Amino acid sequence: MPSRTGGLTLLRRNPSFRVLWSARAISFLGDSLGLVALLVYVEDRTGAAFAVALLLFAGDCLPGFFGPLAGAICDRFDLRTVMISCELVQAVLVVAMAITLPPLPVLLVLVALRSITATIFQPASRSAVPALVEDRELETANSTLGAGTYGLEALGPLVAAALFTVLGIRGILLVDALTFVVSAVLLTRLPSLPSAGEHEPFARNVRDGLGYIWSTPVVRVIALGFFGIAAVNGVDDVAMVFLAKDELGAGDSAAAVLYAGVGIGLVVGYLVLGRLGHRMPMLGLLVAGFAISSAGNLLTGLAWAVGAALALQTIRGAGIAAIDVGLNTHLQRVVPARLLGRVFGNLYGAVGVAAGLSYGLGGLLLELTDARVTFVTAGACGLLVSAATALALRRAHRRTPV
């Protein structure tokens, strides 16, 4: 029987899951605080948009290339040890940034190292979920993790704004480092989560993980669809401010509100799925999320006012929540435990690369046209990817139960 357990109930009666949830939420809040501080620091020090773009590339895109290695580490070592080590390494790197406030080249190296470490933490935390909750509670667990993670992350810019006048950039970075330490201390309360993977050379572990994805039809289709959606829709991060200020004639505050729309939709989507997700087929939820998030971007490009664009971006956020819950829950159920970290590492790493591709190609389209055309094009391409993924999944499912 599918579970009707709500997220709060699961957190209350499952101490180990509550520890993981708390550690992830605190860690992601620190991430968002640190990012705001670094963006402000780089802009103040260089005044160059290109420098800010390099910072985002080092933090978001470059670590994606290390996804296969990150997954292999997760499948090789105790997951609790991996997560604690990742948090402590990130704390040390952020403290180094705070103390030195280094020049841009050194800062980019430190940011890249911290982000690669976070890339290892992500699949480890996702792989730990099936070991901490019952199978029938996976939908609720993933929804609750998402709400806590992205809900608190969305508060990061607001908290950073309040702290700037009191602590400054260096102080905010030290608070960021403290969140990683707190997360690591919390994670020590988890039970041991030994690896189910093979202790073979890393190169073979990496190859086996990639080989599993490519040789398993449904998982291969999921990976390609996930990459495609990220590659076409990621441009909204770049285009949003231009839509608000140019096409809609609004100011900076309105642009900030529009960026918050996705975060609002994410939280609402996770809360709904935490209660109703067990009634839905996960692959259907995944494809629906692809389509809803893409339609949200397409219609945002046609919005006539800031309020309409905000509502549509909220819908887009709900679609992203559906993608997250559908993807993670399905993979946690069907991928062998010995390969789960590698599958998550590869998929989330590929999405980071896809986001970089979207920033580049979408930025070029934005330069050649305008924000409306960019949003409509991204959304339309996303709907095509959604349809292609649905058809490919139907064919793949006939050949294999996975």
**Residue ranges of the chain whose pLDDT lies below 70:** 1-6, 43, 47-50, 52-53, 151-158, 160-161, 196-202, 251-256, 277, 398-402
Q: What is the pTM of this model?
A: 0.82
pLDDT at residue 1, as a whole number: 36
Kindly report, residue by residue over 69-87, the tens digit of the pLDDT: 888 888 888 999 999 999 9
pLDDT at residue 197, as a whole number: 58
Helix (H) or strand (E) holding 340: helix 340-368
The Cα angle at residue 21 between residues 160 and 96, in degrees rounded to 5: 45
b/e code 202-239 from CB counts within 10 Å (16+ = b):
eeebbebbbebbeebbbbebbbbbbbbbbbbbbbbbbb
Kindly report, residue by residue over 163-211, the tens digit of the pLDDT: 777 888 889 899 999 999 999 999 999 998 887 656 666 677 778 778 8
Identity of residue 114 = R
Q: Residue 335: which of 402, 243, 275 has the closest Cα?
A: 402
Residue 155: how many CB atoms within 10 A of its CB? 14
b/e code 315-339 from CB counts within 10 Å (16+ = b):
bbbbbbbbbbbbbbbbbbebbeebb
pLDDT at residue 402, as a whole number: 44
pLDDT at residue 154, as a whole number: 63
- 133-136: which pairs have CB atoms within 8 A and are 24 or more residues apart? 133/10, 133/14, 133/17, 134/3, 135/333, 136/1, 136/2, 136/3, 136/278
Domains in the chain and their CATH numbers? 1-195 (1.20.1250.20), 197-402 (1.20.1250.20)
Beta strands in 11-160 (DSSP E): none
Q: What DSSP letter does each residue of 298-329 carry, written as one string?
A: HHHTT-SSHHHHHHHHHHHHHHHHHHHHHHHH
pLDDT at residue 343, as a whole number: 87
pLDDT at residue 167, as a whole number: 81
Helix, strand, coil shares of the chain, percent, nearest 5, are 85, 0, 15
